[in-house]
Amino acid sequence: AEFKKVFFEVPHLQRTTKHISDPLHGSAAKRINMFLRWMVREDNKGVDLGIWKNISTAALSCPLDVHSGNVARKLGLLARNQNDSKALAELDTNLRFLDANDPVKYDFALFGLGVFEGF
C-alpha cells in the first residue's frame, strides 16, 4: 500500500493506476510481491537478484495467482477459494510454518506445479 502511495505521488496518466494493486483494497498484490521477491531474495540461479539487503526474506509474501493458489489448495496450504489478500494471509501463515525465515522459497514450486506439471 505504501509503495502504491509513493509511486503515484509524481504526475502520471490516470490509466496507469490500474497496473499497481493495493492490498488495502483486498488485492493479493501478486506483481508487487513478485518484484519484492526478486529484489530481496538471493539465489544461485540468477532469478532472485537479492540487491536489497535491508529487507528480510521473512517479511516477504508469496506471489499468489491462479496457479500457485490451486496447487496450495491441493496441498492443504490454502482453504480460501478466492485469490485475494485474505487468501494471501492464510498462505503466508502456512508457508511461515514450513520456513519462517524464507517462506517465499516455495513460490516457484507452487507456480511450476500448477503451470508446467498440471498438478
* Cα dihedral: 59, 64, 67, 73 (round 10): 80
Q: How big is the chain, counted in residues?
A: 119
Contact indicator for 52, 3 with CB cutoff of 8 Å: no
The set of cell numbers assigned to 87 is: 487468501
Q: How confident is the model at residue 13 (pLDDT cuts 50, 70, 90)?
A: very high
Contact (Cβ atoms closer than 8 angstroms) between residue 114 and residue 70: yes
Q: Is the pLDDT of residue 118 over 80?
A: no
Residue 44 pLDDT level (bands cut at 50, 70, 90): confident
pTM: 0.86
Check residue 22 and give its pLDDT. Answer: 87
Residue 66: the pLDDT is 93
> Quick one: average pLDDT of 86-95?
97
Please state, in angstroms and rounded to a whole number, the distance separating the CA atoms of residues 37 and 21.
16
Q: Which pLDDT score, from 0 to 100, does residue 74 have? A: 95
26 has a pLDDT exceeding 90 = yes
pLDDT of residue 1: 84
